[in-house]
Structure 1
Amino acid sequence: MSREDFEDAVRDALDSIPPELGELMDNVVVLVEDDGPEDEPALLGLYEGTPLTERTDAWFGSLPDRITVFRNPTLAVCHDRAEVVEEVAVTVVHEVAHHFGIDDERLEELGWG
């Protein structure tokens, strides 16, 4: 899958988030990178920032939170385009959930782990 097609899949996944939740997302940027961190090369996505549930007045003026979706690790675990689109959607939901303060344990319980 080309980078452009992968970015389209990420965009489509973001567009599938209910508008009510999308409107609540605050100061967050979503990026596509080819590879994840060297210490976690199989990582499909990463949320970096301060979840909405943990923000205080001291947070004001901070740089935007970042959600990064990693293209090559995603392509490596998927067998076809449909599987990539599905995995990207799951990854985006998972990382957006972190922005809302939902931890990995709860995501596992909800089936988004």
Structure 2
Amino acid sequence: MTHASATTLAPDLALLERLAHDAVVALPEPWRAAATHVQLRIEDFAPRDILDAMGIADPFELTGLYEGIPLTEKSVMDQPLGPDMIWLFRRPILDEWLDRGDVSLGEMVTHVLVHELAHHFGWSDEQIAAIDPWWE
């Protein structure tokens, strides 16, 4: 019987969190500083209540989610309901990464993170493409 080596184990939640933080640090200013105020939460899958609220039956269909009020819609009159948060879902991200086969895991995490940050910042497709060159 052989033992699995570190190179054959699936990337864990901690690795995805490190890759997400690296992606935030790599953002150009002024986005980098503002993105550090968005909380990151890494989970294997989206919680069932979130999937149900979005009408998603298959948890592999959701790689990330932005929860909060986009900066373009915030008002000083708004009472904060909680921190703006980006969820990244490990298992769907890994599946998409393996299906693509043409990008690194760091690039895949960055792609999902940038997509969710676009909701936070209210970016246009052109702004997203400037930060994430392989935006679809």
Q: Which runs of 5+ in 1 are unaligned?
A: none
Q: Which runs of 5+ in 2 are unaligned?
A: 1-10
| Structure 1 counterpart of 2:41, from 31, 48, 52 | 31
Report the counterpart of residue 73 of structure 2 in structure 1.
54
Report the counterpart of residue 8 of structure 2 in structure 1.
none
Q: How far apart in 1 are the matches of 2:28 and 2:64?
A: 20
Report the counterpart of residue 84 of structure 1 in structure 2.
105
Flag the structure with more relative contact order, 1 or 2, with Cα contacts below 8 A and sequence separation at least 6: 1
Aligned residues: 110
Q: Which SS does the other structure have where 1:4 is aligned?
A: helix
Q: Which SS does the other structure have where 1:62 is aligned?
A: coil
Q: Which runs of 4+ in 1 moved over 4 A?
A: none
Whichever residue aligns with residue 112 of structure 1, its letter is W
How many angstroms does 1:13 deviate by?
1.1
Q: How far apart in 2 are the matches of 1:25 and 1:89?
A: 13
**Which TM-score applies when normalising by structure 1?**
0.79
**Which TM-score applies when normalising by structure 2?**
0.67
* Closer/same/farther in 2, CA of residues 26 and 63 from structure 1, 3 Å limit: farther
Q: Which SS does the other structure have where 1:59 is aligned?
A: coil
Name the Cα RMSD after superposition: 2.6
